[in-house]
């Protein structure tokens, strides 16, 4: 589910300015938080180096 929709509108005589719409997703926030997790990044490094057999990086880098 998407949330946090922001729209900035500035109105002055003779001008109307529209700001950027920002849509954030809770999943994207979780992914960003996990990228700061040292243990998770250590596991990722093992996978990239090919020193673990639990997971493999596919041809699409996933």
Mean pLDDT by 10 residues, the chain (62 residues): 68 84 73 82 83 73 72
| C-beta neighbour count of 43 within 10 angstroms | 14
Residue 43 lies in a domain: yes
User: What pLDDT does 22 receive?
Assistant: 64
DSSP state, residue 54: S
Residue 58 lies in a domain: no
Tell me the residue range of the domain where 25 lies.
2-49
User: What pLDDT does 30 receive?
Assistant: 81
Residue 13 lies in a domain: yes
Q: Distance (Å, rounded) from C-alpha 33 to C-alpha 31?
A: 5
Residue 29 lies in a domain: yes
Domain tally for the chain? Answer: 1
Residue 56 lies in a domain: no
Q: Which of 4, 43, 46 is nearest to 21 (CA)?
A: 4
Q: What pTM did the predictor assign?
A: 0.37
């Amino acid at each position: 589910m998407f949330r946090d929709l922001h729209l900035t509108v500035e109105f002055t005589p003779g001008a109307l300015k529209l700001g950027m719409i920002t849509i954030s997703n809770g999943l994207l926030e979780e992914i960003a938080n996990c990228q700061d997790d040292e243990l998770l990044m250590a596991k990722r490094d093992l996978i990239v180096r090919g020193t673990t057999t639990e997971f493999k990086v596919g041809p699409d880098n996933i």
